[in-house]
Amino acid sequence: MFHWTIHLFLVCLVGYVSTPATAAVKKYQFDIQVKNVSRLCHEKPIVTVNGMFPGPTIYVREGDRLLINVTNFAQYNMSIHWHGMKQYRNGWADGPAYVTQCPVQTGQSYTYDFNVTGQRGTLWWHAHISWLRATVYGAIVIMPKQGTSYPFPQPDFEFNLLLGDSVK
C-alpha cells in the first residue's frame, strides 16, 4: 500500500510541475498629475494619469496578477476605485479615501495588488480625489485565459468606447 502511495504522489507531482503556468504579472505605473486641458472652449485644470485624460486602458487576462503603482503628483489626496473588479482578500484597497483605504497623499506612492479571478469583460476605474466631481478614469479589459475560445464568432476588430462629460 505504501509503495502505491509513493507512486501516486510522484505522478501527481510530475503532472503539477510539468503543467505550464499561464498567469502573468501585469505592471502599470500611474503618475497622477494636474494639467490644463481645453474642453468646451474653456481651459481648466484637470487630473490626468501619465498626462492622459481619459487615463490608460489596463489589459489583463483572467488569472493574472495586477500591480498598479500610483504616484500622486497632484495637490489632492486620492485613491482609485476599480468598478466591477472582484477584490478577494484585499477589499481595503478599493474606493474612496477613509472609507476603504487611506488616501495616497501628495508626493507619495501606493501599489494596488490584486489577482483577476473569475471574471472577463470590460470594466472601468476612476480616481476619488477629495470631493471633486469629475476625475480621471479609464478602462480595464479582462481577456479570457490564453487558449480559451470566444463563446461567439470572433469579431473582426474590437475597440473601447469611454463616455464622460466635461463640466465648465
Q: 510541475: which residue's cell? A: 17
**Domain architecture of the chain: domains with CATH:** 24-143 (2.60.40.420)
Whether 76 contacts 135, CB under 8 Å = no
Rounded distance, CA 100 to CA 77, Å?
14
Q: Percent of the chain, pLDDT > 70?
A: 83
User: Bigger pLDDT: 130 or 15?
Assistant: 130
Q: 462629460: which residue's cell? A: 165
Task: Give me the phi and psi of 110, to 5 degrees please.
Answer: -145, 140
Per-residue pLDDT, 12: 54
C-alpha cell at position 128: 476619488
Average pLDDT over residues 102-115: 94
- Judged against a pLDDT cut of 80, whether residue 86 lies above it is answered with yes
User: What's the pTM?
Assistant: 0.80
